[in-house]
Amino acid sequence: MLKIFQDFLKRLWPEFYRHRTNVHLTSFYTFTNYRYLWFISISVLAATALAPICIATLIYYQLIETSVDSDLNHRTKQLTVAARSAVTFFMEERLNALTFTVNENGYEQLTSNTRLAEILKNLKLGFGGVTDLSVLDADGNQVAYAGPFNLEGKNYKNQSWFEQSLKQTNYISEVFTGYRDVPHIIITVRSAKPDGSSFILRATLDTERLMQTLSSYKTGDYADIFLVNHEGTLQTPSIHYGSIFTPTNLIFPAGSDESEVMEIILDGKSIISGHSSISRDLTSTPFTLMVLKEKAGMMKFWQDMSFKFNWIMGASVIVILIVITFASTFMVNKLYRADKAKAETMMQMEQSQQLASIGQLAAGVAHEINNPLAVINQTAGYMKDLFSFKDQARNDDEIVEYIDSILDAVDRCGTITRQLLGFVRQFDVKIKKVNLQKLISQVLSFHKKEAEYRRIHVTVSIPESFPELETDSSKFQQVLVNLINNAFQAVEEGNCLDIMASQLSPDTIELVIHDTGCGIPEENLKKIHEPFFSTKKNGSGTGLGLSITYGLVKKLGGRISVQSTEGVGTSFTIHLPVKINEGRKA
């Protein structure tokens, strides 16, 4: 089981990380940087897989944020409307009770302290929140009082609430302290005496009862409900702004019955704020109801959900990245193995092509060696006959002449053999200076007899000032062998083969190999560099010569092009650097 797991991990581990550079294989690899390919593969797959998730998540969060904000605003508005209704009912209930009292009791009854105390008792039992009652004449004199404070005989003519009470049938004051030095609210009802003059029935409301009513609508520690007047002064305590009578910047236009909700920043915190004016059908009030709710507190449930969702998304992303990494590694490993096998095959094919070129040269070599061997054979036979007739060979000029002929023939065979062995041995990468004239002459020497026999006119045109090339001599020689072999195979008796070289710039040379052979059909010109494509009949060609030649020229840092007209001839043009790039030596 452990071995299976180890084999599995081995397959998933990037095999190309253990890759060792082989100068013979490097040029055959389709991709030279598998680590970069691996990284790009992981990046593209990750972007493809995660981009929709990220986009969907962003859209989800935007929709959730919009939905939550809408829900928070709606809930705050509902709370504002409900609290406003409660406060309005609180005021209306007591104002209606006071109006009923005035209508049911005449001035004479209300100015009786005993009757007034009885009415106060009934109001406390029925509604609560009423502290005291008093009756005032048109001059502000308090003519009757029922309550816990010592306010008999007080005159309120100069009080602003009294002036407003004379002008309106019903009046509700803002919170103030007055003579009793305790925060309270006054509601008044104006009525007429039998003689037609006005009098006022005043009731004092306990702010504690009002604050209890507001507190009952708080939905948590993060909610703050309070009242302010039209100048923005607190009428009830606030968690955020402080105690009663504290001035604030919460100033709103009076008379608006609509509840409005907005988002504000308070002490660095995001607050959902709702406000609505407290008004009733019979009269208006100086109060504006404020509802403040901390957004963070209201969103705690959604934040907890988002936290869990983020954990799930994070774990999912990690799993996706792991799977993508394993999948990319597996695929790139497969590609690397296939590319490595292809490179090894191509190297073997190149060596096979080089050996095939040697085979093609064998005919010329055989002709070259056959003539010296014939001379040796004839001369040796003649010498044998001489020795049969002569006993003394010393100082015999004729015998010495024949021996010299044998030595010359043997030397010629040795030269041909060394040229062939020199070509065979050049498999390794070797950067050295190359004399193009000598290299071309060396390759043409293998075709000398064939050219004479088939009457092929070969010309080589290389300027005397042509520079020596610093390049891979074995690869360059292989290029020349392949192209010259192809040229000899393409031409008929009496045709021409022209080899011309020129220096285009200080860093670049041009080599043109032109023959007047059969040419290449136009439809085949684009295919000649493809592996295994051959136009030779009867399977005499492998289709690898020009393909390998094309690859070798690229390895040498050059480029090759071909122009051909069927029935006229073919020209191969090679552009090479005078000095091979340092990066290509490996």
Secondary structure (DSSP) of 8-23: HHHHHS-GGGG----T
Q: How far apart are CA 289 and CA 456, in angstroms?
A: 114
At 434 the pLDDT is 87
Q: Are 133 and 148 in contact (CB under 8 A)?
A: no
Look up residue 388 and give its amino acid. S
For 117, the 3-state DSSP assignment is helix
For 143, the 3-state DSSP assignment is strand
Average pLDDT, integer, range 200-227: 87
Summarised one tens digit per residue, pLDDT across range 270-327 is 888 888 888 766 567 888 899 998 887 777 777 788 888 889 888 999 999 888 888 8
- For the chain, the straight-line distance linking the first and the last C-alpha, in angstroms and rounded, comes to 43
Structure tokens at 101: 């009292």
For 183, the 3-state DSSP assignment is coil
Average of per-residue pLDDT values in the chain? 80
Share of the chain above pLDDT 70, in %: 76
Neighbours of 484 (CB within 10 A): 22
Q: How confident is the model at residue 234 (pLDDT cuts 50, 70, 90)?
A: very high
Summarised one tens digit per residue, pLDDT across range 46-89 is 999 888 888 988 888 888 878 888 888 888 888 888 998 888 88
**Does residue 262 surpass a pLDDT of 60?**
yes
Domains detected in the chain? 67-298 (3.30.450.20), 426-586 (3.30.565.10)
* Percent composition of the chain: helix, strand, coil (DSSP 3-state, to 5): 55, 20, 25
Average pLDDT, integer, range 406-425: 62
Element (H or E) spanning 503, and its range? strand 496-505
At 492 the pLDDT is 87
Neighbours of 207 (CB within 10 A): 20
At 580 the pLDDT is 81
What is the model's pTM?
0.52
Q: Are 288 and 277 in contact (CB under 8 A)?
A: yes
DSSP string, 311-357: HHHHHHHHHHHHHHHHHHHHHHHHHHHHHHHHHHHHHHHHHHHHHHH
Structure tokens at 321: 């990245």
Q: How far apart are CA 122 and CA 111, in angstroms?
A: 17
What is the number of H-type helices and E-type strands within the chain? 13, 16
Q: How far apart are CA 495 and CA 516, in angstroms?
A: 6
Q: Are 536 and 522 in contact (CB under 8 A)?
A: no
E strand intervals along 44-183: 130-137, 142-146, 170-172
At 427 the pLDDT is 47
Give the strands of the sheet with 508-515, arranged side by side.
457-461, 496-505, 508-515, 569-577, 559-565
Q: How far apart are CA 344 and CA 167, in angstroms?
A: 110
At 121 the pLDDT is 92
DSSP string, 387-427: HHH-S--TT-HHHHHHHHHHHHHHHHHHHHHHHHHHHHHTT
Q: Are 513 and 572 in contact (CB under 8 A)?
A: yes
Average pLDDT, integer, range 113-134: 90
**Does residue 158 surpass a pLDDT of 60?**
yes
For 556, the 3-state DSSP assignment is coil
Three-class HEC string of 512-526:
EEEECCCCCCHHHHH
Q: Which of 91-100, 297-306, 556-565 has the lowest mean pLDDT?
A: 297-306
Q: How far apart are CA 35 and CA 19, in angstroms?
A: 10
Q: How confident is the model at residue 194 (pLDDT cuts 50, 70, 90)?
A: confident
Summarised one tens digit per residue, pLDDT across range 2-45 is 677 666 666 667 777 666 666 566 666 677 778 888 888 889 98
CA dihedral (439, 445, 448, 451) positive or negative? negative
Q: What contacts 80, CB < 8 A, 6 or more positions away?
A: 259, 261, 274, 275, 276, 289, 291
At 190 the pLDDT is 93
Q: Are 119 and 133 in contact (CB under 8 A)?
A: yes
CA dihedral (278, 279, 280, 285) positive or negative? positive
Nearest alpha carbon to residue 187 among 114, 231, 123, 248: 123
Summarised one tens digit per residue, pLDDT across range 483-533 is 888 888 888 888 899 999 998 888 899 999 999 888 888 777 777 766 655
Q: How confident is the model at residue 400 (pLDDT cuts 50, 70, 90)?
A: low
At 255 the pLDDT is 55
565 CB-side CA count, 13 A: 2
At 575 the pLDDT is 93
Structure tokens at 471: 């390049």
Nearest alpha carbon to residue 362 among 268, 450, 429: 450
Summarised one tens digit per residue, pLDDT across range 325-379 is 888 888 888 888 888 887 777 777 766 666 666 665 555 555 566 666 666 766 6
Q: Are 205 and 186 in contact (CB under 8 A)?
A: yes
Identify any residues that bridge with 146 across adjacent strands, giving them in sequence order. 133
Q: How confident is the model at residue 389 (pLDDT cuts 50, 70, 90)?
A: low
